[in-house]
Each structure stands twice: as C-alpha cells, then as structure tokens.
Amino acid sequence: MKIAISGKGGVGKTTLAALLIKYFRDQGKKVLAVDADPDANLALALGVPDPDNIIPLSQMKEMVAERTESQPGTMGGFFKMNPKVDDIPEKYSRELDGIKIIVMGGVKKGGSGCICPESVLLRTLVTHMVLLRDEVVVMDMEAGIEHLGRATAKGVDKLIVVVEPGRRSLETAKHVKKLAEDLGLHKVAVVGNKIRGPGDEAFLIRNLPDLPILGFIPFNEKIIEADLGGRPPYETVPELLEVAKSIAAQLSEE
C-alpha cells in the first residue's frame, strides 16, 4: 500500500498521515513514514522525542554530493540523474516503535523547472519507495505533489487530499486533482477534517461531486492541544483511530 497525502497548508495532512501510520503499524505492517512537506512535522505527530534533531535529507550536503557526484555549494555542472538511493530508508531514517521515519526537507528553487542534485535525489528516492519497497509507505506531501513524477504516480495506490470546510481548501483539492491527472494518477480521494457537524459534511459532499470522500475527522480542540504539546493526536483523542480504521478499510477494498 502506497499512500500520498496532500492538501492546503494547515488543513490537517499530518494528522491524517499520523493516524494511518499508527493504524497500519498496529495491524503488524512494516511502515515507512515520509515527511515530504517542508512545512510539516510528521515526526512530532508520531511522538518522536527529539524531532528537531532529525536532519532533512536535502540538507545532508555531503551525502547528496556523494550520491549525485556533484560539487556541494556550486551551481550548474554535471551530476548523476540516477543516484543510488535504495539504502537510504535504512541508513538515514529514524525508527520509532517499528516505524521508519524519513524527513525529506525542502529544496530552494532557482526558478520553475529547476533541476538540482537535491531535487534529483529526492525524486529518485520517492520513486524507489513507491515502486520498489515492500512496506506500507505513507507520504505527507506538499499541495504541489512535486516529488511525484509520471512513472512514480502510477505506483501510488491512492492520493488523499485533506480538505476542511472552506472555499480555499476546496480550490486546493481541485488543483491537486488536476495535477495528479496530468501525471496519470486518477486514484484520488478526499478526507474531510475539522468537521463540526452534518452541515460541514454536506458542504464538502455538495462541492466535491467528482471526488470520493473516504471519511471525516471531527473538529476537536484536543487535536490542537496535542500538536502544541508535541504529542500524537491519537494519544489525546483515541477515538480518532476508529476514523483511521474506517478510512484504511476503504483503501484496502479498492
């Protein structure tokens, strides 16, 4: 099972990612948790005690230079477009309760379409994790899903767009769906978050008629408290695991 999670910043992608990772691990699965959003903090949401000490892969200049045969700190020049990445999940992940956690980090862009050693390494790694790993892979991604290439997208079992009741969130969901379809990825669905009641559910169903909705995560102040306190959301709101179970059941059926 390879799952990518996207959506507008602050909408709750990391909360859903943490819930699904916890659920699959509790089912005895090997799980690879991938933080591919520079603004997210998946390690914190999974209860890693010192998440600030995890160095993102994109900041490991010597490792990037070694794998891509590039010169660190220089612009331009030649470098390998197919760096070795198959050992990175074991070598550079943090492990917690049987879950491997990888933090990708961001890449400073010099313009649209910029190709640099860091971006090549990260995209090659995502391709490896999606197409060649035998674990459950859950990726917490940017709304731009830019780490997904055309070949990689075909290996994703489901792209889940997290939305909240609001027009901006809906527009982001439609944008992500269009980006995914451009890559040939048509297995896109939605999870509603911060749901205050049946009215919010009806709003999302009415405004996203072309996207299947896998479930709804209720609004709960304790989820915010968990985030502020650096605790997993399922520790403060255990009933969220039932939501994760329902969503995972639908993923398994498809």
Give DSSP secondary structure letters for 178-211: HHHHHTT---EEEEEEEE-SHHHHHHHHHH-TTS
Percent of the chain at pLDDT > 70 equals 94
Q: How does pLDDT run across 243-254, given as a tens digit for each residue?
A: 999 999 999 876
Measured over the CA atoms of residue 159, residue 240, residue 17 and residue 249, the dihedral's sign is negative
224-247 average pLDDT score: 93
Q: What is the mean pLDDT of the chain?
A: 91
Q: What is the pTM of this model?
A: 0.92
Residue 114's pLDDT band (cuts 50, 70, 90): low
Residue 111's pLDDT band (cuts 50, 70, 90): very low
CB proximity list for 2: less than 8 A, separation 6 or greater: 129, 130, 136, 137, 139, 155, 156, 157
Tokens of 147: 């780490």
Provide the 10 A C-beta neighbour count for residue 74.
10
Q: What is the pLDDT of residue 110?
A: 47
Superfamily of domain 2-50+96-105+134-253: P-loop containing nucleotide triphosphate hydrolases (3.40.50.300)
214-241 average pLDDT score: 93
Tell me which DSSP letter residue 4 carries: E
44-48 average pLDDT score: 94
Q: How does pLDDT run across 175-192, given as a tens digit for each residue?
A: 999 999 999 999 999 999
Q: For the purposes of burial, counting CB atoms within 10 Å of the CB of 99, is it exposed (0-12), middle (13-18) or buried (19 or more)?
A: buried
Residue 75's pLDDT band (cuts 50, 70, 90): low
93-121 average pLDDT score: 81
Percent of the chain at pLDDT > 90 equals 76
Structural domain boundaries of the chain?
2-50+96-105+134-253
Q: Which residue(s) pair with 160 in the sheet? A: 5, 189
Q: Rounded to an integer, what is the distance from CA 7 to the centroid of its chain?
A: 10
Who wins on pLDDT, 206 or 142? 206
158-171 average pLDDT score: 95
